[in-house]
Amino acid sequence: MEKSKVLVVGGTGFIGRRLIAASLAQGHPTFILMRPEIGLDVDKLQTLLSFKAKGARLVEASLDDHAGLVAAVKQVDVVVSALSGTHIRSQHKLVEAIKEAGNVKRFLPSEFGTDPSRMGHALEPGRAIFNEKMELRRAIEAASIPHTYISANCFAAYFCPNLAQIGTLLPPKDKVRVYGDGNVKVIFVDEDDAATYTIKSLDDPRTLNKTIYLRPPENILSQNDLIAKWEKLSGNVLEKIFIPVDEFLSSMKDMDFGGQIVMGHFYHFFYEGCLSNFDIGEDGAEATLLWPDVAYTRMDDYMKRYL
């Protein structure tokens, strides 16, 4: 079967770049939306040109240019959005364009995190983001656009080598803050693997109108598991500072908006266990079961890069 033509929107970001690389690697004709603002950022432009050199096609259009977006969407079969958090709402423009174009066989909005359909109870102010994602889902479904939602859980770069410490991306050297008793199961995913699974889903009938959860069995780990792996790798035993839930939540109060959003996520992941405390039902499927051929990266191998 011929591989679908894919348009990536948000192709210069953290996950977008990986989606393009995965799309090219899996043999999809790959198109990238080149927004005018990207053309002013020398690094982002060079990133786009490096993908062009590898065979991707750049399609110029602004998110505010409806006709341009429709024309871009008409060139492809599948649209994958990797727009960052601040642009969630802009994706309604993409939905409008896809609706008008009428040819798209699959749309993947920018999700790649926690499943928002299970986060109606989330702490403010972070809940607003889940609500926006749900509003977008309703617009997609109201327009009868075939879709797939990807719940990729914790991207390793942000959560794993720092042993889930807030405010750093590097491994701690002497002390580590442990949330609660540190035994809640969290799910870590190598971001390149997240991109690989996402692209695998595009032409797979088993993923149509479903949510795909990325749950690599060996990467379902508690914070204590993660710390133990790092201690073994580094040969360095860390002092553990256990943070009771009340202390954690009360420390949020004085933070700015961004800080509160981050803390809210950590609360749900590491105290509540929101990533692992449910069974995937009929509306979903699990990535490593769908595509057992993907050799995903284990977190000790991931952390070796930081030694």
Active site positions, annotated: 133
CB-facing half-sphere around the CA of 42: CA atoms within 13 A: 0
CA distance 17 to 52: 12
CB of 39 to a copy of itself, least distance (A): 5
Amino acid letter for position 188 = F
Please, which residue, 96 or 300, has the CB nearer to a copy of itself?
A: 300
The Cα-based distances of 98 to 93, 108, 135, 139, 146 in angstroms read 9, 11, 16, 11, 10
Q: Report how far apart the first and last C-alpha atoms of the chain are (Å, whole number).
A: 43
- Picking from 177, 173, 158, the residue whose alpha carbon sits closest to that of residue 302 is 158
Q: Which is nearer to a copy of itself, 259 or 284 (CB)?
A: 259
| Smallest separation (angstroms) from a copy of itself to the CB of 245 | 26
Measured from the CB of residue 140, what is the shortest distance to a copy of itself in angstroms? 28
- What are the respective helix, strand and coil percentages of the chain, to the nearest 5? 45, 15, 40
Q: Among candidates 1, 65, 84, 28, which has minimal Cα distance to 196?
A: 28
Q: Which lies closer to a copy of itself via its Cβ, residue 184 or residue 194? A: 194
Which structure tokens are listed for 267? 């609360």
User: Minimum distance from CB of 77 to a copy of itself (Å)?
Assistant: 25
| Nearest CB to a copy of itself, comparing residues 113 and 182 | 113
Return residues touching a copy of itself (CB under 8 A): 14, 39-40, 42-43, 45-46, 49, 52-53, 157-158, 167-170, 305-306
